[in-house]
């Protein structure tokens, strides 16, 4: 049948209207899960970490943890209308640089949250910047208690704190390893000082004797004068509050000078780079680290396989699992807010406040175990493990 021009026009209008209705239905509009106009919203998961200076092995591991978390959540993010990328700010392990990085993150509306920083000395001043910007911050590694004593509602961490870790080390030193005397050294950072203070208190409570308390800096590389001084004291153990870069050199120089006392430190030493720097001198040194070994975690083997597939040329660093969980906490919060308020809200103040609230309510099983925060933002997971260097590698210490 041949239609007239008027009828053909009406038919065309009806077809176009039907197509428009189908397109609207397919776009997911009306569910609040997509961005303005039914498309996806691009956001950034910021990572504040030392990449070119400082504890770079740990900082680069934090990057990998964040990237893997985004990869593993790709489908859920897409379904929520979110396109997320990892965005790193190199704080170089320096507090002033960290504040500059924090201001960069805070001024970018696409940043939905910050996973970082590594060093407590960086996290503490940076956290104030994020608080003013209503930007959530989840640190995988900053262990100084002062970070969460600031009453800032946007600050959280997936690692436990120095007031848990250092007393654990002191108990292990006296009760398990039989050390009766110690020299304590810190690197004059909030991290190192916090560890040293808490170790001294518990070591003395356990009946141990502190022969001397010494201070260095996190940039020191020559410990020969200090080693000479310590050698005359003949301690059973040297407790070092600091990172692997200086700690490895301290171990090497002390053993070469004839000191038999092992180094005992915390999670800042627990990295393969410590062993590489100290060489054979690292054998028999100890370090505590937050959490349990991967082999003892329910999701450990699965996560390790995924990590090695994604990063076949990289070793797993001390905080990679905690970085993965910290990033995942922010990602899950962003997905929740996108579903409730629309993905486009993530670039607004209202949306960022909602992300903070969602992170505070986190209750999930992560790679590191239970991920849940107390009223201060500290993790409720207090697990600590003692490691020893054996045959050139860190392994869990066993009685």
Query: For the chain, how far is it from start to end, CA to CA, in angstroms?
Result: 93
- Which single residue is written with the structure tokens 């998961």? 45
Please enumerate in sequence order all residues whose Cβ is within 8 A of that of 212, keeping only pairs 6 or more positions apart, or say none: 183, 184, 229, 230, 233
**3 state SS of 126:** helix
Residue 10 CA to residue 330 CA, distance in Å, equals 51
Please enumerate in sequence order all residues whose Cβ is within 8 A of that of 241, keeping only pairs 6 or more positions apart, or say none: 166, 184, 185, 186, 187, 191, 192, 193, 194, 195, 196, 199, 265, 266, 268
Please enumerate in sequence order all residues whose Cβ is within 8 A of that of 309, keeping only pairs 6 or more positions apart, or say none: none
Q: pLDDT of 299-328, one tens digit each?
A: 999 999 999 999 999 999 989 999 999 999
Nearest to 332 by CA among 39, 45, 27: 45
Q: How many helices (H) and strands (E) does the chain have?
A: 13, 14
Residue 349 CA to residue 356 CA, distance in Å, equals 11
Residues in the chain: 399
Residue intervals in the chain for CATH 3.40.50.2300: 37-160+298-381, 163-290
Nearest to 374 by CA among 363, 384, 383: 363
Residue 392 CA to residue 379 CA, distance in Å, equals 32
Please enumerate in sequence order all residues whose Cβ is within 8 A of that of 23, keeping only pairs 6 or more positions apart, or say none: none
Can you read off the two tokens belonging to residue 390? 């054996």
Q: Looking at domain 163-290, what is its CATH homologous superfamily?
A: Response regulator (3.40.50.2300)
Task: Indicate the helix (H) or strand (E) that contains 120.
Answer: helix 120-132
Residue 17 CA to residue 275 CA, distance in Å, equals 69
Task: Indicate the helix (H) or strand (E) that contains 88.
Answer: strand 82-90
pLDDT in tens, the chain (399 residues): 334 434 343 344 343 333 333 333 333 333 333 444 457 999 999 999 999 999 999 999 999 999 999 999 999 999 999 999 999 999 999 999 999 999 999 999 999 999 999 999 999 999 999 999 999 999 999 999 999 999 999 999 999 999 999 999 999 999 999 999 999 999 999 999 999 999 999 999 999 999 999 999 999 999 999 999 999 999 999 999 999 999 999 999 999 999 999 999 999 999 999 999 999 999 999 999 999 999 999 999 999 999 999 999 999 998 999 999 999 999 999 999 999 999 999 999 999 999 999 999 999 999 999 999 999 999 999 999 999 999 999 999 998
Q: Looking at domain 37-160+298-381, what is its CATH homologous superfamily?
A: Response regulator (3.40.50.2300)
Q: What residue ranges in 249-318 does DSSP mark as E strands?
A: 263-265, 286-290
CB atoms < 10 A from the CB of 278, how many?
24
Q: pLDDT of 59-68, one tens digit each?
A: 999 999 999 9
Instruction: State how far the alpha carbon of 72 is from the alpha carbons of 75, 159, 271, 306, 320, in Å.
Output: 8, 21, 25, 9, 15
Q: What is the pTM of this model?
A: 0.86
């Amino acid at each position: 049948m041949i239609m007239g021009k008027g009828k053909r026009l009406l038919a065309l209008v009806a077809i176009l209207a039907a197509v428009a209705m189908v397109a609207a239905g397919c776009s997911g509009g009306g569910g609040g899960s997509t961005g303005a106009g039914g498309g996806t919203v691009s956001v950034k998961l910021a990572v504040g970490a030392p990449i070119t200076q400082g504890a770079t092995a740990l900082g680069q591991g934090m990057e990998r943890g964040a990237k893997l978390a985004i990869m593993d959540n790709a489908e859920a993010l897409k379904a929520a209308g979110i396109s997320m990328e990892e965005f790193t700010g190199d704080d170089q392990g320096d507090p002033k640089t960290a504040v500059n990085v924090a201001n960069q993150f805070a001024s970018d509306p696409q940043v939905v949250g910050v996973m970082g920083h590594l060093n407590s000395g960086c996290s503490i001043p940076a956290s104030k910047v994020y608080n003013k910007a209503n930007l959530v911050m989840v640190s995988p590694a900053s262990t100084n208690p002062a970070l969460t004593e600031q009453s800032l509602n946007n600050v959280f961490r997936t690692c436990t704190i120095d007031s848990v870790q250092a007393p654990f080390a002191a108990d292990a030193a006296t009760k398990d390893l039989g050390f009766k005397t110690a020299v304590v050294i810190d690197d004059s950072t909030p991290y190192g000082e916090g560890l040293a203070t808490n170790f001294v208190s518990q070591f003395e409570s356990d009946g141990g004797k502190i022969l001397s308390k010494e201070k260095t800096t996190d940039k020191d590389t020559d410990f020969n004068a200090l080693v000479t001084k310590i050698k005359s004291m003949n301690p059973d153990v040297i407790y070092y509050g600091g990172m692997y870069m200086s700690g490895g050199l301290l171990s090497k120089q002390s053993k070469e000078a004839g000191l038999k006392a092992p180094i005992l430190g915390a999670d800042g030493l627990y990295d393969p780079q410590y062993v590489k720097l100290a060489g054979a001198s690292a054998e028999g040194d100890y370090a505590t680290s937050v959490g349990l070994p991967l082999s003892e975690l329910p999701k450990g083997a699965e996560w390790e396989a995924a990590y090695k597939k994604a990063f076949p040329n990289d070793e797993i660093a001390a905080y990679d699992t905690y970085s993965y969980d910290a990033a995942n906490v922010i990602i899950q919060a962003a997905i929740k807010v996108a579903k409730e308020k629309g993905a486009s809200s993530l670039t607004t103040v209202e949306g960022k406040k909602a992300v903070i609230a969602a992170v505070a309510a986190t209750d999930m099983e992560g790679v590191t175990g239970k991920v849940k925060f107390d009223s201060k933002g500290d993790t409720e997971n207090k697990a600590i493990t003692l490691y020893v260097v054996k045959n050139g590698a860190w392994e869990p210490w066993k009685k």
